[in-house]
């Protein structure tokens, strides 16, 4: 091998991607286990979907009449979360979050008191760091909200993270494809004692565009060289959008998910998150509930995310910003959401990273982030 090829291979081996790799042979060699073993105690499946946006859209379409319901959403949200309710014309109201991305429950309840009618509440466990929630709040949730949706799309199920009950029912939404190397799978859980009316059935069939997406996503997860191809990334985004909202999960992902060692995934991601939180404490966005953390990405608070993103890319570290500002929808009255969207940069934290790679990640970030961001 030439010296140039050797250098290129060395750089490629040192790359730190945002996603873990699907090692198909290793995954299939594991004996299958029931997915039910993964769910928090006292919960059951209400529906299995391809992606989190599909579950939210189907939930909004099936459960929330625009003439009866309003839904309360955090102003710091992804576009697809908002689009799920906008497409079904359910009236939306917004609340801000604290700088550490926890919910000010008293402020949410106080805002809700000023509005009559039936209401649903969406609570986001940002980046897989569980929202602090005491049992004392259960009765308040039942009093003021008919349905409560806990969006845990950035996390894996944890026994300490349960359903937040509403007057009628509560849901937990996961997106296992974000944390495990599988192309799709977004389960929606509800309390075991919830009536069958709480179930959410995806529509039958799968659009061709989404089927192609599953195939390309699977290839990208297995072949690391595909991850740097911008043309493939654009095609994947287009195919995801072209697919019908509400799509059911693929059989491939269900088969793979039953063979994933989720306990290893959870433990490795939590250990990496704790290591990053200690090494990058001045810039860490989330510090709460580390014992229940199983993060999708590790969020930083930086003054100039675009510059830091480019600097880390030059040393082989893939990062992403999260999310775009939603002021066009929410209005200008949410300063924390606006600032969080402007200043958040996310690092890889997945289960394939070794302790040595995490330490190198800490060193690389510390070298390029301005101390003024602390």
Which region, left, alpha or beta, applies to residue 101 given φ > 0 means left and ψ of -120 to 50 means alpha? left
Angle at 113 between CA 112 and CA 114, to 5 degrees: 90
Rounded-to-10 torsion of CA 334, 339, 341, 344: -150
**Per-residue confidence at 5, pLDDT binned at 50, 70, 90?**
very low
- Residue 174 near residue 157 (C-beta atoms within 8 A): yes
- Residue 221 near residue 22 (C-beta atoms within 8 A): yes
Report the chain's mean pLDDT, rounded to a whole number. 87
Beta strands, E only, the chain: 43-49, 69-74, 92-95, 118-124, 147-152, 169-174, 186-191, 298-301, 320-321, 344-347
Give the start-to-end residue ranges of the domains of the chain: 33-198, 210-243, 262-373
Angle at 209 between CA 205 and CA 212, to 5 degrees: 100
CB-count burial class (<10 Å; 0-12, 13-18, 19+) for 57: buried
pLDDT tens for 182-232 read 999 999 999 999 888 889 988 777 777 788 888 888 888 888 778 878 787
Tokens of 280: 């990058």
Query: DSSP string of 218-266?
Result: HHHHH-GGGGG-HHHHHHHHHHHHHSPTTPBPPHHHHHHHTTS-HHHHH
- For the beta carbon of residue 17, count every other beta carbon within 10 angstroms: 16
**Per-residue confidence at 258, pLDDT binned at 50, 70, 90?**
very high
Res 82 pLDDT > 90: yes
Res 176 pLDDT > 80: yes
Q: What is the mean pLDDT of residues 344-366?
A: 96
Query: DSSP string of 90-134?
Result: --EEEE---TTS---HHHHHHHHHT--SEEEEEEE-GGG-PPP--
Which region, left, alpha or beta, applies to residue 185 given φ > 0 means left and ψ of -120 to 50 means alpha? left
- Residue 91 near residue 71 (C-beta atoms within 8 A): yes
Per-residue CA distances from 46 to 96, 147, 165, 277 (Å): 29, 14, 15, 35
pLDDT tens for 328-346 read 889 889 999 999 999 999 9
pLDDT tens for 108-120 read 999 999 999 999 9
Q: Describe the crossing of helices 355-368 and 305-314 by its angle, rounded to 10 degrees.
A: 130
What is the pLDDT at residue 288? 60
User: Is CATH 3.40.50.300 what the domain over 262-373 is classified as, yes or no?
Assistant: no
**Per-residue confidence at 255, pLDDT binned at 50, 70, 90?**
very high
Fold assignment, 33-198: 3.40.640
pLDDT tens for 288-326 read 656 777 899 999 999 999 999 999 999 999 999 988 889
What is the pLDDT at residue 145? 95
Q: What is the mean pLDDT of residues 35-50?
A: 93
């Amino acid at each position: 091998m030439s010296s140039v090829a050797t250098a290129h291979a060395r750089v490629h081996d040192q790359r730190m991607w945002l996603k873990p790799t699907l090692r198909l042979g290793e995954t299939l060699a594991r004996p299958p286990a029931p997915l039910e073993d993964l769910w928090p105690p006292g919960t059951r499946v209400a529906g299995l979907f391809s992606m989190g946006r599909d579950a939210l859209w189907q939930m909004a379409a099936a459960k929330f009449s625009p003439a009866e319901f309003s839904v309360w959403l955090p102003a710091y949200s992804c576009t697809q979360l908002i689009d799920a309710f906008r497409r079904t014309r359910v009236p939306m109201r917004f609340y801000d979050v604290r700088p550490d991305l926890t919910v000010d429950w008293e402020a949410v309840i106080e805002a809700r008191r000023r509005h009559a009618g039936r209401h649903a509440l969406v609570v986001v466990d940002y980046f897989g760091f569980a929202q602090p929630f005491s049992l004392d709040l259960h009765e308040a949730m039942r009093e003021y909200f008919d349905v409560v949706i806990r969006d845990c799309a950035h996390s894996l199920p944890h026994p300490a993270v349960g359903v937040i009950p509403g007057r009628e029912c509560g849901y937990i939404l996961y997106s296992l494809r974000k944390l495990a190397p599988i192309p799709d799978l977004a389960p929606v859980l509800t309390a075991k004692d919830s009536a069958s009316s709480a179930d959410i059935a995806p529509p039958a069939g799968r659009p061709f565009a989404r089927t192609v997406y599953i195939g390309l996503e699977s290839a990208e997860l297995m072949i690391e060289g595909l991850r740097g191809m911008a043309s493939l990334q654009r095609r994947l985004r287009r195919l995801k959008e072209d697919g019908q909202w509400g799509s059911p999960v693929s059989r491939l992902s269900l088969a793979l998910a039953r063979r994933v060692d989720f306990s290893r995934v959870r433990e490795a991601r939590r250990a990496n998150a704790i290591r990053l939180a200690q090494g990058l404490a001045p810039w860490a966005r989330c510090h709460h509930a580390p014992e229940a953390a199983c993060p999708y990405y590790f969020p930083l608070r930086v003054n100039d995310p675009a510059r830091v993103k480019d600097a880390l890319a030059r040393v082989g570290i893939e990062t992403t910003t999260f999310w775009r500002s939603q002021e066009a929808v929410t209005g200008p009255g949410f300063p924390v959401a606006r600032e969080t969207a402007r200043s958040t940069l996310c690092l890889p934290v997945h289960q394939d990273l070794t302790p040595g790679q995490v330490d190198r990640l800490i060193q690389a970030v510390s070298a390029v982030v301005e101390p003024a961001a602390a």
